[in-house]
């Protein structure tokens, strides 16, 4: 491709330009610019062979392909995300680079512009002019264009200003001239030479000196203060936790009610159809789609909350405040947010790993999330603890939360020393963006794209799996019932699978098909494990008094009289054994099937070993009868 | 004097950065390089320092800050 070296006018780039790569430092408004330019015409996919997300879209005004690369400070990468930026730039010599330059941090942005502009035509989109003006450092952009010799356009992606000039700027993109030769030099020497060039540009530009103190500085005096900022940070993560539980639950219940009503209507409407057909369409496909639909408002709420934290600039402060705690397992301070959200629901917690700056950190955090004991596991603990430890139910449940923390920290330490050995213990070195008012329209666009991504990709996996589960329950393994009839659970293929799994739990004291069946159902959704137990016993009362008596009888029999130890082992297994289907689908969507399957295998192994250890110790030493 | 010992609000110039530091290049790229004038604007938890580099603010943990030598401008 050749790029025209003349102005095209009319805001239209020449036909030779087919693709534009958006490059820039983190937090410079690059993604907001991408969302504004592409609108809804965008998709999210992983860079080849990585778990790094690339946003592809079509620039509405020009029809050009636009790729939003991860934020980076340099083309000398320190993280997989930065490697993707370098590799994409090297692999797309046909594309023009539109470098987003932060007017409030010109030196840093010009350094990146120099690295990119050495090898390909570039144009500069200057953002954050409002911040620079507030700090008294706004540069003269006409003078900057004259010095650089490449197009320089002021844009405000939030307000949508300057966008018309961008297309023309891309058409006039060209190589940066007068850069020092850095090929073959060690990175530090090359950086020195490039910063020498940057200093020369800034000397000619002569921007005003920055004000000694900014509005953000005054806010940070409170929010970074350990005595005041710490409680504010705890309040923020408590708010996120509440969003995943108290706020989202009624909305999810509402959607669930609609889906149930729709399913009832569909069943009634298909009264004359064969049982297998209505069963598959209603109990398989429709219930599957309904499960996906119930998660959409929850995900939307969390995405909006995270985008508000990120857009406002607070997320970077959260990383500073939580750094010393997360450093224990070698993670960025921002990893605390997904892990806390995980105690509400694992699905948005996996989604929240997007706020972490490096792909390996996102993966490591994502793999730890299923060990955070989500609210859906609580009904199982309440039932078992109430039935077997009525005097100490609270302590038993608290123990589960404590064990969850041990699994997260222990799992993190072990993974860091084995599979994630190469994840460096990064020093805290983070740019704090100025506080800004979040851009709601941009947030809405990005949230819509992400929720759509979940519905299409993770949703597909959920629906297919639920149809398979329905099939297992509808196909009789014994007895006289036909496919699609009301097959008793113990006579179905599902019951047969559960019965064949049950002996594996003999060392943990709960070798019973009803318990293993509840674990299979619990994989679909943890909270329905209790319902599955009640269904297996044909008991309507799911309380510790009603169902509890049956559970005590069964576990006393399977454990040789150590029912309480077996119950504790079952609770431990439920805590750790596998992410639920929706979480597994989200893990699959973000990190791929290989990592998800390895994680499920690891969790099953750890949970089984822990359950066996609890039962063996509890029944022999602990005296748990 | 190390950046970690630098009093709040004092204008200082970076005189040396420990070259053995793993993040030396990134410090360089974020503006913490020899000859740059900086100012510590905040002290955060666990000895974290927020440093004004030009108009931008960079948070640095205590250990990293101790690898940067500064002199009062």
**Touching check for A86 and chain B: CB below 8 Å?**
no
| Closest C-alpha to A357, from A338, A339, A335 | A335
Q: ipTM value, please give it.
A: 0.96
Chain B closest-CA separation from residue A493 CA (Å): 57
- Nearest-5° Cα angle at A378, A374 to A379: 135
Confidence check: pLDDT of A356 > 60 = yes
Residue A95 gets which letter from DSSP? Answer: S
pLDDT at A4: 40
Angle, in degrees to the nearest 10, between helices A314-326 and A287-312? 100
A181 by DSSP, 3-state: which?
A: coil
The token pair that represents A6 in the structure block: 């003349």
| Chain A residues close to B24, C-beta within 8 Å | 188
Lookup result for tokens 């297994």: A573
B26/A74 Cβ within 8 A: yes
Q: A595 near A363, Cβ under 8 Å?
A: yes
- The band of A119, judged by pLDDT with boundaries at 50, 70 and 90, is confident
The token pair that represents A339 in the structure block: 């892990």
CA A535 from centre of chain: 34
- The band of A513, judged by pLDDT with boundaries at 50, 70 and 90, is very high
Mean of the per-residue pLDDT values of chain A? 87
CB under 8 Å, gap of 24 or more: what pairs does A537-542 form? A542/A383
Nearest neighbour of B56 by CB, restricted to A104, A212, A226: A104
B61/A195 Cβ within 8 A: no
Q: A32 near A57, Cβ under 8 Å?
A: no
pLDDT top residue among A541 and A59 = A59
What are A407-460's pLDDT values in tens digits? 999 999 999 889 888 776 778 889 999 998 888 887 887 788 778 888 887 788
| Chain B residues close to A316, C-beta within 8 Å | 59
Strands A96-102, A122-127: pairing is parallel
The arithmetic mean of pLDDT across residues A185-208, rounded, is: 91
Confidence check: pLDDT of A6 > 50 = no
Lookup result for tokens 């297998």: A276
B59/A430 Cβ within 8 A: yes
What does each C-alpha distance from A194 to A117, A388, B18 come to in angstroms?
12, 69, 20
pLDDT at A157: 85
Please enumerate in sequence order all residues whose Cβ is within 8 A of that of A123, keeping only pairs 6 or more positions apart, or say none. A96, A97, A98, A99, A150, A151, A152, A153, A166, A169, A170, A172, A173
Please enumerate in sequence order all residues whose Cβ is within 8 A of that of A162, keeping only pairs 6 or more positions apart, or say none. A125, A153, A154, A155, A156
Chain A closest-CA separation from residue B16 CA (Å): 14
Confidence check: pLDDT of A10 > 70 = no
Confidence check: pLDDT of B71 > 90 = yes
The token pair that represents A23 in the structure block: 């490059």
Domains of chain A: 19-211 (3.40.50.300)
Strands B56-60, A429-432: pairing is antiparallel
Per 3-state DSSP, chain B is made up of helix, strand and coil in percentages (nearest 5) of: 20, 40, 35
Confidence check: pLDDT of A14 > 60 = no
Mutate to test the interface with A, among B26, B28, B59, B64 (most CBs of A within 10 A): B59
Confidence check: pLDDT of A544 > 70 = no
Give the residue from chain A lying closest to B66, CA to CA.
A427
Rounded CA-CA distance A113/A75 in Å is: 10
| Chain A residues close to B54, C-beta within 8 Å | 105-107, 137, 210
**Touching check for A130 and chain B: CB below 8 Å?**
no
CA A436 from centre of chain: 23
Task: Tell me the β-bridge partners of A433.
Answer: none
- Beginning with the edge strand found earlier in the chain, give each strand of the sheet holding B49-53 in spatial order: A429-432, B56-60, B49-53, B37-43, B11-17, B68-72
Confidence check: pLDDT of A50 > 80 = no
The arithmetic mean of pLDDT across residues A102-112, rounded, is: 94
Helix (H) or strand (E) holding A538: none
Confidence check: pLDDT of A203 > 60 = yes
Mutate to test the interface with B, among A138, A194, A209, A432 (most CBs of B within 10 A): A432
**Touching check for A191 and chain B: CB below 8 Å?**
yes
Q: Is A39 left (phi over 0), alpha (psi -120 to 50) or beta?
A: left
**Touching check for A597 and chain B: CB below 8 Å?**
no
Give the residue from chain A lying closest to B32, CA to CA.
A429
**Touching check for A234 and chain B: CB below 8 Å?**
no
A217/B42 Cβ within 8 A: yes
B25/A73 Cβ within 8 A: no
A18 by DSSP, 3-state: which?
A: coil
- Nearest-5° Cα angle at A199, A197 to A203: 120
| Chain A residues close to B48, C-beta within 8 Å | 224, 320, 323, 428
DSSP readout, A339-408? Answer: HHHHTT-HHHHHHHGGGSSSHHHHHHHHHHGGGS--GGGHHHHHHHHHHH-TTSHHHHHHHHHHHHHHHH
| Chain A residues close to B39, C-beta within 8 Å | 212
Confidence check: pLDDT of A620 > 70 = yes
Rounded CA-CA distance A124/A114 in Å is: 11
Lookup result for tokens 């949703």: A459
A212/B29 Cβ within 8 A: no
DSSP readout, A490-527? Answer: GGBHHHHHHHHHGGGGGGGT---HHHHHHHHHHHH-TT
Confidence check: pLDDT of A97 > 80 = yes
A297-310 burial, b at 16+ Cβ within 10 Å, e below that, comes to bbbbbbbbbbbebb
Least confident of A163-167, A604-608, A614-618: A163-167
| Chain B residues close to A132, C-beta within 8 Å | 55
**Touching check for A203 and chain B: CB below 8 Å?**
no
Chain A closest-CA separation from residue B14 CA (Å): 15
Mutate to test the interface with A, among B48, B55, B62, B68 (most CBs of A within 10 A): B55
Q: Which of A369-373, A377-381, A621-625 has the highest mean pLDDT?
A: A369-373
State phi, psi for A530 to the nearest 5 degrees: -65, -45
CATH of domain B3-72: 2.30.30.90
Residue A6 gets which letter from DSSP? Answer: S
Give a three-class secondary structure readout of A426-487.
CCCEEEECCCCCCCHHHHHHHHHHHHHHHHHHHHHHHHHHHHHHHHHHHCECCCCCCCCCCC
State phi, psi for B68 to the nearest 5 degrees: -110, 120
pLDDT at A285: 87
Strands A429-432, B11-17: pairing is unpaired
Chain A closest-CA separation from residue B35 CA (Å): 11
- Express as a percent the part of chain A with pLDDT over 70: 95
| Closest C-alpha to A239, from A306, A297, A330, A188 | A306
Nearest neighbour of B26 by CB, restricted to A73, A212, A216: A73
- Express as a percent the part of chain A with pLDDT over 90: 45
Nearest neighbour of B25 by CB, restricted to A104, A135, A187: A187
pLDDT at A8: 33
pLDDT at A40: 65
| Closest C-alpha to A390, from A213, A562, A529, A567 | A567
Instruction: Give the N- to C-terminal CA distance of chain B in Å, as an integer.
Output: 12
Nearest neighbour of A427 by CB, restricted to B33, B50, B64: B64
What are A121-147's pLDDT values in tens digits? 999 999 999 888 887 888 999 999 999
The arithmetic mean of pLDDT across residues A181-202, rounded, is: 92
A570-593 burial, b at 16+ Cβ within 10 Å, e below that, comes to bbbbbbbbbbbbbbbbbbbbbbee
The arithmetic mean of pLDDT across residues A528-552, rounded, is: 77
The arithmetic mean of pLDDT across residues A264-286, rounded, is: 86
Rounded CA-CA distance A389/A384 in Å is: 8
The token pair that represents A413 in the structure block: 């330490």
| Chain B residues close to A224, C-beta within 8 Å | 42, 44-45, 48, 50
The token pair that represents A592 in the structure block: 């791929």
Chain B closest-CA separation from residue A105 CA (Å): 6
Confidence check: pLDDT of A371 > 80 = yes
Task: Tell me the β-bridge partners of A84.
Answer: none
Task: Tell me the β-bridge partners of B51.
Answer: B40, B58
**Touching check for A224 and chain B: CB below 8 Å?**
yes
Mutate to test the interface with B, among A74, A105, A334 (most CBs of B within 10 A): A105
| Chain B residues close to A196, C-beta within 8 Å | none
Strands A42-46, A53-58: pairing is antiparallel
What does each C-alpha distance from A511 to A499, A559, A567, A574, A602 come to in angstroms?
9, 8, 12, 15, 21
Q: A586 near A462, Cβ under 8 Å?
A: no
The arithmetic mean of pLDDT across residues B3-16, rounded, is: 93
Rounded CA-CA distance A534/A547 in Å is: 6
DSSP readout, A316-342? Answer: HHHHHHHHHHHGGGT--GGGHHHHHHH
pLDDT at B59: 95
Q: What is the CB neighbour count within 10 angstroms for residue A553?
A: 12
């Amino acid at each position: 491709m050749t790029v025209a070296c003349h102005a095209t006018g009319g805001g239209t780039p020449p036909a030779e330009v087919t693709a534009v790569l958006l490059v820039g430092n983190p937090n410079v408004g690059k993604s907001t610019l991408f969302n504004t330019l592409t609108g809804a015409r965008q998709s999210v996919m992983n860079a080849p062979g990585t778990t790094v997300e690339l946003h592809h879209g079509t620039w509405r005004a020009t029809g050009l392909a636009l790729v939003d690369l991860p934020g980076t400070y340099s083309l000398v990468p320190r993280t997989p995300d930065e490697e993707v930026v370098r590799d994409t730039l090297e692999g797309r010599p046909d594309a023009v680079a539109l470098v987003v330059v932060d007017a409030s941090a010109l030196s840093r942005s010009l350094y990146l512009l120099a690295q990119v502009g050495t090898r390909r035509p570039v144009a500069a989109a200057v953002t954050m002019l409002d911040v620079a003006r507030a700090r008294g450092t706004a540069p003269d952009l006409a003078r900057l264009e004259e010095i650089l010799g490449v197009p320089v356009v002021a844009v405000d992606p939030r307000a949508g200003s300057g966008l018309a000039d961008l297309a023309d700027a891309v058409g006039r993109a060209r190589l940066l001239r007068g850069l020092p030769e850095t090929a073959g030099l060690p990175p530090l020497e090359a950086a020195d030479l490039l910063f020498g060039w940057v200093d020369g540009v800034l000397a000619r530009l002569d921007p005003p000196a920055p004000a000694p103190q900014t509005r953000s500085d005054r806010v940070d005096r409170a929010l970074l203060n350990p005595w005041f900022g710490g409680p504010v940070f705890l309040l923020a993560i408590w708010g996120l936790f509440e969003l995943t539980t108290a706020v989202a639950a009624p909305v999810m219940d509402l959607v669930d009610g609609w889906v149930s009503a729709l399913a009832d209507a569909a069943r009634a409407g298909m009264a004359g159809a064969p049982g297998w057909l209505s069963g598959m369409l209603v109990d398989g496909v429709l219930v599957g789609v309904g499960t996906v639909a119930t998660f959409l408002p929850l995900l939307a709420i969390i995405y909006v909350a995270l985008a508000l934290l990120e857009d406002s600039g607070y997320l970077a402060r959260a990383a500073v405040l939580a750094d010393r705690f997360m450093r224990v397992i070698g993670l960025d301070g921002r990893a605390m947010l997904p892990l806390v959200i995980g105690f509400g629901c694992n699905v948005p917690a996996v989604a929240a790993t997007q706020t972490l700056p490096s792909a390996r950190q996102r993966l490591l955090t994502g793999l730890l999330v299923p060990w955070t004991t989500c609210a859906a596991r609580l009904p199982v603990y309440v039932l078992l603890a109430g039935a077997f430890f009525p005097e100490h139910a609270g302590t038993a449940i608290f123990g589960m939360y404590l064990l969850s923390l041990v699994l997260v920290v222990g799992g993190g330490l072990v993974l860091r020393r084995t599979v994630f050995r190469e994840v460096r213990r990064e020093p805290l070195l983070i740019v704090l963006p100025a506080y800004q008012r979040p851009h709601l329209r941009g947030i809405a666009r990005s949230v819509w794209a992400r929720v759509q991504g979940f519905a299409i990709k993770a949703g597909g996996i959920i629906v297919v799996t639920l149809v398979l589960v329905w099939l297992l329950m509808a196909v009789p393994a014994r007895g006289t019932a036909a496919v699609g009839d009301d097959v008793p659970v113990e006579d179905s293929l599902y019951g047969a699978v559960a019965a064949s799994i049950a002996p594996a739990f003999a060392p943990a004291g709960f070798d019973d098909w009803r318990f293993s069946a509840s674990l299979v159902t619990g994989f679909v959704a943890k909270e329905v494990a209790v319902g599955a137990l009640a269904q297996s016993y044909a008991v309507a009362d799911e309380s510790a008094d009603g169902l509890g008596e049956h559970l005590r009888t069964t576990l006393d029999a399977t454990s040789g009289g150590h029912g309480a130890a077996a119950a504790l082992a079952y609770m431990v297994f439920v805590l750790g054994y596998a992410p639920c289907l929706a979480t597994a689908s989200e893990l699959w969507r973000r990190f791929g099937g290989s990592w998800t399957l390895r994680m499920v295998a690891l969790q099953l192994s750890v949970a089984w070993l822990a359950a066996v250890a609890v039962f063996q110790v509890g029944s022999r030493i602990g005296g748990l009868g | 004097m190390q950046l970690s010992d630098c009093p709040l609000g004092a204008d200082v110039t970076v005189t040396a950065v420990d070259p053995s530091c793993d993040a030396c290049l990134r410090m360089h790229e974020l503006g913490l390089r020899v000859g740059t004038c900086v100012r510590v604007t905040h002290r955060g938890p666990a000895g974290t320092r927020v440093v004004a580099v030009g108009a931008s603010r960079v948070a640095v943990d205590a250990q990293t800050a101790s690898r940067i030598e500064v002199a009062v401008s």
